[in-house]
Amino acid sequence: MKNWVKKLAIGVALPGMLILGGCGATKTGGSEKGGIQERTIKAGIGLNEDHPEGQGLKKFKELVEKKSGGKMKVQNFYSATLGDDQKMTEALQGGLQEVTIPSTSPLVGMIKEYGIFDFPFVFNTEEEAYSVLDGKVGKELLKKLPEHKLIGLGYWENGFRNLTNSKHPVKTAEDFKGLKIRTMQNEVHLDAFKKLGANPSPMAFSEVFTALEGKTVDGQENPLATIKSSKYNEVQPYLSMTKHVYTPFVFLVSKQFWDKLSKEEQKIMRDSAQEAGKYQRDLNRKENEKALEDLKKAGMKVNEVSDAEKEKMKEIVKPVTDKYAKKFGQDLVDEMMSEVEKARKK
Ligand code: KDG
């Protein structure tokens, strides 16, 4: 067994723990009555209802309520009404909320290994990302969650991130210099943008529009569906197709809640999260194409970034990714890259 797998497995192989289906689900304390009980599941996300993530959550609700004969009810909350990613994740750990689906990036303070998905220019396509997330690497990272009072049921899609700003088009590595860019609260993003000569400012997703509107930052970076759904075009004239990072969403369940469920109820949750996840990934990719056309129509000045310039950017941030590969585990990073290479050969 590879070192990084051993380290991750030992971290979670608690006595009597049954690791099911690669999602790290623990042995069911299970409801003594078994079967399906009347339950209410509070599910919150930071994005809007019209975003593919919001649509995916609606699909999850529909599936859980159908599969449980209406006994398990899902209450959806959008646009960070229950708080930002970190606050909602803490609410799950405290048993105050049952489901949230954040980007992996804000979790890196808790589970450092998730930072490998913040390395710039690792993936060229969504399929390459899926091969890592749905394969050994993604499954082993899910097994890290129970020790943090969380259960992970799989990965949905935030997607490839592109840069918007109010100053000028970003066509070359040089063009980042001096730009004040909002980043997620994530050390890899912070260090990478600093290395490119930008001036990064970490903040929660819910604060981004106000910061852009008030010009406390010049720009931000997010997938096209988020740029459109959050109406960043209203305050950001320039969109540069950097595709610099692919960010996953991770479907999180409160372990306190999960351990009360019967095996049947856990299967309903897991199957619904995975079925809704496939639906959400497909919808996200369709919406990204449509969003680009809509953002152009809304007047954003869109520029492509050449492969040569992306290679230059990758070279500039290499000392950052080398530093964090050591911190997160070189074996883990090597395994991710070998999965990517395999996907590229398909
Ligand atoms: O809850 C929304 C966030 O998880 C997601 O949009 C994170 O990409 C993100 C950002 O920029 O904060």
**CATH label of the domain that carries residue 139:** 3.40.190.170
32 falls in which pLDDT band (50, 70, 90)? low
Kindly report whether the global pTM for this prediction surpasses the value 0.85.
yes
Take residue 170 and report the two structure tokens written for it: 């970003």
Instruction: Indicate which residue's Cα is closest to atom 5 of ligand 1.
Output: 103
Q: Are 189 and 183 in contact (CB under 8 A)?
A: yes
Q: Give the pLDDT confidence of 105-157 residue by residue, as tens digits.
A: 989 988 999 999 999 999 999 999 999 999 999 999 999 999 999 999 999 99
Is residue 34 very low, low, confident or very high in pLDDT (cuts 50, 70, 90)? confident
Q: Is residue 62 part of a domain?
A: yes
- The residue-averaged pLDDT of 86-92 equals 96
Q: Tell me whether residue 171 is in a domain.
A: yes
- Amino acid occupying residue 170: V
Choose the residue to mutate in 50, 107, 158, 220 for probing ligand 1, maximizing ligand atoms within 8 Å of C-beta.
158
| Average pLDDT of every residue of the chain | 92
- Residue 247's pLDDT is what? 97
- Whether 188 is in a domain gets the answer yes
b/e string for 104-125 if b means 16 or more Cβ within 10 A? bbbbbebbbbbbbbbbbbbbbe
What number does the ligand 1 atom closest to the CA of 105 have? Answer: 7
DSSP category for residue 179: -
pLDDT of residue 188: 96
Mutate to test the pocket of ligand 1, among 85, 89, 101, 189 (most ligand atoms within 8 A of CB): 85
In a domain, 285, yes or no: yes
Question: Is residue 20, in this structure, part of any structural domain at all?
Answer: no
Domain that holds residue 217: 37-345
240: nearest Cα among 198, 194, 282: 198
Mutate to test the pocket of ligand 1, among 100, 217, 222, 280 (most ligand atoms within 8 A of CB): 222
Question: How far, in Å, from the CA of 96 to the mean position of ligand 1?
Answer: 21
Q: Is residue 21 one of the residues assigned to a domain? A: no
Assess whether the C-beta atom of 196 lies below 6 angstroms from ligand 1. no
Amino acid type, 190: L
The number of beta carbons lying within 10 Å of the beta carbon of residue 35 is 10
The answer to which of 28-32, 48-52, 335-339 has the lowest mean pLDDT is 28-32
Which residue owns the Cα nearest ligand 1 atom 4? 102
Asked if residue 146 belongs to a domain, the reply is yes
Could you tell me if the CB of 68 is within 6 A of ligand 1?
no
Extract the tokens encoding 90: 């803490």
- How far is ligand 1, taken at its centre, from the CA of residue 186, in Å? 11
**b/e 242-253 (16+ beta carbons within 10 angstroms → b):** bbbbbbbbbbbb
Per-residue pLDDT at 31? 54
Total domains present in the chain: 1
pLDDT at 19: 39
- Express each pLDDT in 54-81 by its tens digit: 999 999 999 999 999 999 999 999 999 9
Q: pLDDT tier at 3 (50, 70, 90 boundaries)? A: low
Residue 8 lies in a domain: no
Residue 346 has pLDDT above 90, yes or no: no
